[in-house]
Chain A
């Protein structure tokens, strides 16, 4: 079974631009979560999508948004990029069977650099 696939692996953008990151979950997984990882803040939860609906949202500004498609693939968008948005963005999928005890399966991440 293929793992979680994130594209692209690396991105360099300029302040003020917008960016879209893509995530394909493990086949059969309907939950997709996004996390931002930085050296100073560690891993912080952005949001979770399940069956095309946003279920949970972390404490991030509205510039961060996402969506999920009917095939469970998810995209994350960041508008009006700031230098502080430079980070590793991790996508994770889960089967969400039986409630909240399903572990997360992570992709390799997208390294975003904002200059």
Chain B
């Protein structure tokens, strides 16, 4: 069974500092996709970054980057130069077939001014 685990229910970071959110997953598949989504209080889930499992290079999107460790089944999100607008719930997600995504339980990120 596919499971996604986010072991940090809550995290906080000082504005302009760097924070890393953890995610591990369990799968027997060799080819799959991993995503980080952000859900602000407005409720709309917004794609932050995605990673194809067959790519060894870690994905980067501006201030957001991932550390993808396929053997360890780990997929952490690093947010650099944190901004107040980064405050949200962050969900790690996994997909390997169709559009069925498996989500973690989320990490609530607080940014301290």
Q: Residues on A close to B: CB < 8 A?
A: 3, 31, 33, 35, 42-45, 48, 50, 55-56, 58, 88, 90, 92, 94, 96, 100-109
Contact A96-B45, Cβ < 8 Å, known A42-B104, A43-B91, A103-B35: no
Task: Please report the C-alpha to C-alpha distance between residue A55 and residue B97 in the assembled complex, in whole angstroms.
Answer: 11
Determine whether the beta carbon of B47 is less than 8 Å from that of A105.
yes
Distance in Å: Cβ of B22 to nearest Cβ of chain A: 16
Task: Please report the C-alpha to C-alpha distance between residue A44 and residue B95 in the assembled complex, in whole angstroms.
Answer: 13
Shortest Cβ-Cβ A-B pairs, 4 listed? A106-B45, A43-B103, A42-B105, A56-B100
Q: Residues on B close to A: CB < 8 A?
A: 33, 35, 37, 42-47, 50, 52, 91, 95-106
Distance in Å: Cβ of B37 to nearest Cβ of chain A: 8
Determine whether the beta carbon of B43 is less than 8 Å from that of A31.
no
Determine whether the beta carbon of B100 is less than 8 Å from that of A48.
yes
Determine whether the beta carbon of A109 is less than 8 Å from that of B43.
yes
Determine whether the beta carbon of A100 is less than 8 Å from that of B91.
no
Distance in Å: Cβ of B102 to nearest Cβ of chain A: 7
Instruction: For A94, list chain B residues within 8 Å (CB).
Output: 99
Q: Which of A42, A90, A92 touches B106 (beta carbons < 8 Å)?
A: A42
Determine whether the beta carbon of A58 is less than 8 Å from that of B105.
no
Task: Please report the C-alpha to C-alpha distance between residue A31 and residue B99 in the assembled complex, in whole angstroms.
Answer: 8
Instruction: For B52, list chain A residues within 8 Å (CB).
Output: 101
Task: Please report the C-alpha to C-alpha distance between residue A102 and residue B95 in the assembled complex, in whole angstroms.
Answer: 10
Instruction: For B106, list chain A residues within 8 Å (CB).
Output: 42
Contact A104-B47, Cβ < 8 Å, known A42-B105, A42-B106, A43-B91: yes
Instruction: For A106, list chain B residues within 8 Å (CB).
Output: 37, 44-46
